[in-house]
Homo-oligomer: A and B are copies of this chain.
């Protein structure tokens, strides 16, 4: 598919898709036109990129961990790079931290909203 369709499917503007390419996160083929041609599996990839970006993770890190986030992980394991491993472990630990942090916030918001609702029900 071309850039417009991918943009629609992922809700990521073409401008950003080109930017991700510039950052090495996606590498679409080119048609004879020069038009970018995206494979279907990139839809998922772009969504993943957006999620990570929204979470404040910079493209540099995203580029490093993205190949490791596929469900078919068995494929890509062939270089026992200890540096890569360290970085993955680091990001893994950060994920755990983030989860704990968000769970707290989720619960706190939950409580607060409930309290609001109860106050509204009572106060009426």
Residues of the B chain whose Cβ atoms lie less than 8 Å from the Cβ of A96: 106
Residues of the B chain whose Cβ atoms lie less than 8 Å from the Cβ of A92: 106, 109-110, 113
Contact A112 B80 (CB under 8 A): no
Encoded as 1 (CB less than 8 Å from any B CB) or 0, chain A from 43 to 58 comes to 0000000011111100
Q: When chains A and B are docked, how far (Å) is the Cα of A98 from the Cα of B108?
A: 15
Interface presence of A23 (CB below 8 A): no
A85: min CB distance to chain B, Å: 6
Residues of A22-81 contacting chain B, CB below 8 A: 51-56, 65, 68-71, 73-74, 76-78, 80
Q: When chains A and B are docked, how far (Å) is the Cα of A108 from the Cα of B85?
A: 13
Residues of the B chain whose Cβ atoms lie less than 8 Å from the Cβ of A116: 77, 80, 84-85, 88
Residues of the B chain whose Cβ atoms lie less than 8 Å from the Cβ of A78: 119
Q: When chains A and B are docked, how far (Å) is the Cα of A113 from the Cα of B119?
A: 49
Residue of B whose beta carbon sits closest to that of A113? B88
